[in-house]
Amino acid sequence: MYEHDVIVVGAGGAGLRAAIAAHEEGADVALVSKLHPVRSHTGAAEGGINAALRDGDDWTDHAYDTMKGSDYLGDAPAIETLCETSPEEVIQLEHWGMPFSREEDGRVSQRPFGGLSFPRTTYAGAETGHHLLHTMYEQVVKRGIKVYDEFYVMDLAVTDEEDPEDRECHGCVAYDIKSGDIVGFKANDGVVLATGGDGQAFDHTTNAVANTGDGPAMAYRAGVPVEDMEFVQFHPTTLPSTGVLISEGVRGEGGILYNAEGERFMFEYGYANNAGELASRDVVSRAELTEVNEGRGVEDEYVYLDMRHLGDERILDRLENILHLAEDFEGVDGLVEPMPVKPGQHYHMGGIETNEHGETCVSGLYAAGECACVSVHGSNRLGGNALPELIVFGARAGYHAAGRDYGEALVQTGPSAAIEHEEDLGAPVEPGALGPADDDVAADGGERAADEARSDGGQLASASEVVHRSVERQRQRVERLKERDGRNHAEIRKKLQKAMTRWVNVFREEEGLKKALEVIKECREEYQNVAVSDPSGTYNTDLIHTIETRNLIDTAETIALGALARDEFRGAHWRAEHQERRDDEWLKHTMVQWSDGTPELYYTDVILEGAEKTYEPKVRSY
Instruction: Give the interface with ligand FAD as residue ranges (CB under 6 A).
Output: 9-15, 32-35, 40-42, 44-49, 128-129, 152-153, 194-197, 206-207, 210-211, 214, 245, 346-347, 369-371, 384-387, 390
d(C-alpha 497, C-alpha 506), whole Å:
14
| Residue with smaller CB distance to ligand FAD, 101 or 195 | 195
Q: Does residue 284 sit in helix, strand or coil?
A: helix
Q: Is 104 helix (H, G, I), strand (E, B) or coil?
A: coil
Q: What is the DSSP track for 424-490?
A: HHT-S--GGGG----SS-TTSGGG--GGGGB-GGGPBPPHHHHHHHHHHHHHHHHHHHHHS--B-HH
To ligand FAD, the closest distance from the beta carbon of 147 in angstroms equals 10
Q: Which of 378, 299, 403 is nearest to 342 (CA)?
A: 299
CB atoms within 10 A of CB 538: 11
Q: Which is nearer to ligand FAD, 74 or 369 (CB)?
A: 369
Burial of 270 by CB count in 10 Å (0-12 exposed, 13-18 middle, 19+ buried)? exposed
User: Among residues 392 and 429, whose Cβ is nearest to ligand FAD?
Assistant: 392
Question: Residue 199 or 599: which CB sits closer to ligand FAD?
Answer: 199
Which CB sits closer to ligand FAD, 214 or 291? Answer: 214
Comparing CB distances to ligand FAD, the nearer of 49 and 229 is 49
Between 245 and 563, CB nearer to ligand FAD: 245
Give the residues across from 420 on adjacent strands. Answer: 603
- The CB-of-110 to ligand FAD minimum distance in angstroms stands at 13
For every residue of 521-589, DSSP letters joined together read HHHHHHHTTB------STT-HHHHHHHHHHHHHHHHHHHHHHHHH--S-BTTBEETTB-S--HHHH-EE
| 398 touches 21 (CB < 8 A) | yes
Cα dihedral 531, 533, 535, 537 sign: negative
Active-site option among 111, 167, 221, 281: 281
Burial category of 104 from C-beta neighbours within 10 Å (exposed 0-12, middle 13-18, buried 19 and up): exposed
Q: How far is the CB of 582 from ligand FAD (least distance, A)?
A: 28
| DSSP per position, 488-518 | -HHHHHHHHHHHHHHHSSSEE-HHHHHHHHH
Question: Smaller CB distance to ligand FAD: residue 83 or 371?
Answer: 371
CA proximity to 284, closest of 298, 301, 269, 295: 269
Coil/strand/helix, residue 182: strand
State in angstroms the smallest separation of the CB of 465 from ligand FAD. Answer: 23
- Pairwise CA distance, residues 134 & 597, whole Å: 40
Minimum Å gap between C-beta 223 and ligand FAD is: 18
In angstroms, what is the minimal distance from the CB of 10 to ligand FAD? 3
Least Å distance between CB 313 and ligand FAD? 22
Report the nearest approach of ligand FAD to the CB of residue 393 (Å).
Answer: 10
Least Cβ distance, residue 458 to ligand FAD (angstroms): 33
d(CA 394, CA 512): 36
The residue at minimum Cβ distance from ligand FAD is: 12
Is 314 annotated as catalytic? no
DSSP single-letter state for residue 294: T
Going from the C-alpha of 342 to that of each of 318, 345, 479, 503, the distances in angstroms are 22, 10, 43, 17
Q: Measuring CA to CA, which residue among 145, 122, 137, 182 is closest to residue 43? A: 137
**Is the separation of the CB atoms in 275 and 110 below 8 Å?**
no
Q: Which amino acid is at 277?
A: E
Query: What length does the chain have?
Result: 622
DSSP 456: G
Coil vs helix vs strand at 359:
strand
Q: Which is nearer to ligand FAD, 14 or 21 (CB)?
A: 14
Return the active site residues: 281
